[in-house]
Copies of this chain bind each other. A is one copy, B any other.
Amino acid sequence: MRQALEGIKVLDLTRVLAGPYATMVMADLGADVIKIEAPGIGDDSRQFGPYVGDESAYFMSLNRNKRSITLNLKEEKAKEIFQEMVKKADVVVENYRPGTMEKLGLGYEELKKINPGIIYAACSGFGHSGPYSKRAAYDAVVQGMGGIMSITGEKGGRPTRVGPSIGDITAGLFSAIGILAALHYRNQTGIGQKVDVAMLDCQVAILENAIARYVVTGVVPKPAGNRHTSITPFEPFETADGEVMIAAGNDALWEKLCEALGKEEWIQDERFQTNPLRTKHVEELVPMIQEITRTKTTAEWLKILDQAGVPNGPINTIDKVIEDPQVLAREMIVEVEHPVAGKLKMAGTPIKMSETQGGVRAPAPLLGQHTEEILKELLGYSDEEIEDLKKENIF
């Protein structure tokens, strides 16, 4: 089976998370992602724990399916090699602080002279324009500035950081979308372009209804805990051994829930007949439901609520997630054999395609593992030339 992005060459100068996430998505879809790393050091995240032997599990999870070449881009000769590679490539991706590539003489304006069809994606904290452009950002900084923390957390509690680095990950996803849209345009016109994605911008783009709520009502949204602010019951309830999420999104589901709880009489209760009424009386209703949910285990409730057709689910910890039957059936946990680290489980691709299914084909590369292979294959270098470059510390 062919892959959707087979034949697309991506030169990947990214490090750590946002950029590598974007190129991982593309590599999972079949693109040939060539990771260009600094000799001896490589992607900073090669130093991030936890380790399997000497290999970073963090790095291995994000860099499967990619090849690695080292190049010391401070050397003129290495810059020339990079430029030769750009001539043969479709996409360049970098997540340096704005200005860094220009200082190296490898900014978009330079590269497009070499290859006008090149798609150049820059993923940065604040973007390539605006007053904060040159400032450094981390996920925690953009989660704070972008508003998501201010609407996450316990009701009445303080702003709370989202556990995974959502600032990086959403920037990676929007970068991949921008690159693919630019690729479509290039397929039609032959014209490449620069795609500039900022982590902060992406945080604004995922605020969902919070902006609308504020601009229409003037009320500043706050952390709202785990319940839905306008649908009831729609939150986790305590069970005999944990919690169960119950999401009764409309009146029909509420009736099914009453039956599942053995409280058919609540269907007629005037306080609970419509969703607005249930929301109004939430302080009374939640303890009434909880009194019942506490009498059985989470596993028992999942079964009862499933049979009743009421949307529900456990609050899974990671050990449970990676063993969940649906997660496994969808191949969302894959095991990859790494030549040094051995077997490692990681997330699969969530994009399931009927003609060109992507997935994990190869483990993450060792630092510079494919340098010679790529110099030969892409640029036609001889063993002798490669030997010379090695002596000059170009890679």
Contacts and interface: CB of A to CB of B under 8 A. Distances in A.
A263 interface: no
Interface string A155-195: 00111111111101111011011101111110111011111
Contacts of A351: 174, 177-178, 181, 195, 197
A157 B230 CA distance: 24
Contacts of A216: 50-52, 57, 344
Interface string A325-336: 111011011000
Given A181-B351, A182-B356, A311-B135, A220 B329 contact: no
Interface in A228-268: 228, 230, 234-236, 243, 245, 247, 249
A273 to B, nearest CB: 18
A280 to B, nearest CB: 15
A358 B182 CA distance: 11
B315 A159 contact: yes
A100 to B, nearest CB: 15
A352 interface: yes
A39 interface: no
Contact of A215 (B148, B217, B322): B322
B330 A129 contact: yes
Contacts of A29: 177, 181
A40 interface: no
Given A164-B208, A185-B4, A225-B161, A191 B355 contact: yes
Interface string A54-87: 0001101100000000000000000000000000
A144 B302 CA distance: 13
Given A205-B349, A211-B318, A330 B198 contact: yes
A38 interface: no
Interface residues on A, range: 35 or more
A321 B321 CA distance: 34
A321 B181 contact: no
A389 B335 CA distance: 55
A101 interface: no
Contacts of A158: 226, 243
Given A61-B209, A108-B354, A211-B321, 10 more contacts: A17-B208, A52-B216, A130-B326, A131-B326, A137-B311, A137-B313, A153-B160, A160-B225, A165-B208, A211-B346
Interface of A: 2, 4-5, 7-8, 17, 25, 29, 48-52, 57-58, 60-61, 108, 126-133, 135-138, 140-142, 144-154, 157-166, 168-171, 173-174, 176-178, 180-185, 187-189, 191-198, 200-202, 204-217, 220-226, 228, 230, 234-236, 243, 245, 247, 249, 306, 309, 311-322, 324-327, 329-330, 332-333, 344-356, 358
13 contacts: A48-B230, A130-B330, A132-B325, A140-B245, A148-B164, A153-B154, A180-B180, A181-B353, A181-B358, A185-B355, A193-B355, A196-B354, A222-B317
